[in-house]
Chain A
């Protein structure tokens, strides 16, 4: 009930391509869905987040798409750059101040 499943585990794209990472959840009580970006040896950094009352949110080159009925959400990285090469994690939470449940992560490599 608490799981968040993330796919794919890894992704390679050419510069300018659009990596797409997908996440699925089971717990309908989740109402906050963030994405984090992590570089090797560093802590995760909050990238973008969405609440279930909207179907899409854009911040710069990052877009979240949210499908409440399917219980799925995804991250698109537009015009990807080599500097976007990192591991991306989706997560979900059921209440403010409560714990985050994380997906397993996707390692993205953007080739020059």
Chain B
């Protein structure tokens, strides 16, 4: 069953703690992306990676970090430097040379 998995579905953390969100894909896609979605708003790009061991900042990278050590995995760390971390986080992937991006089910992070 091919697809993108994100875990956990819901995550709760205290302010000041770093937290890592998981994203795994078995579609053999080269590119992977992290987006943030706030209530009633569109998606904003945090980081993206077009190949293993390489990634670029998106529009709202401050307070986040990523790694891309394996093709199938692209974890996102929300650091304590992120001012408003509570949001719905979406991971996506796309094939080499393809425009279509496919999304995972998302992780809802709540920081109090």
Contacts and interface: CB of A to CB of B under 8 A. Distances in A.
Contact of B103 (A45, A49, A96, A97): A45
Interface in B54-99: 58, 90, 94, 96-99
A43 B106 contact: yes
B42 interface: yes
Contacts of A34: 99-101
Contact of B45 (A41, A45, A100): A100
9 contacts: A34-B101, A43-B105, A45-B103, A49-B99, A97-B50, A99-B33, A99-B45, A99-B48, A102-B44
Contacts of A42: 105-106
Interface residues of B, number: 29
A17 interface: no
A97 B97 contact: yes
Contacts of B21: none
A100 B42 CA distance: 11
Given A6-B42, A43-B90, A105-B40, A99 B58 contact: yes
A57 to B, nearest CB: 14
Tier of interface size on chain A: 20 to 34
B19 to A, nearest CB: 19
A22 to B, nearest CB: 15
Interface string A18-51: 0000000000000010101000011111100100
A89 B42 contact: yes
A93 interface: yes
B57 to A, nearest CB: 10
B42 A105 contact: yes
Contacts of A46: 100-102
A36 B50 CA distance: 22
A49 B100 contact: yes
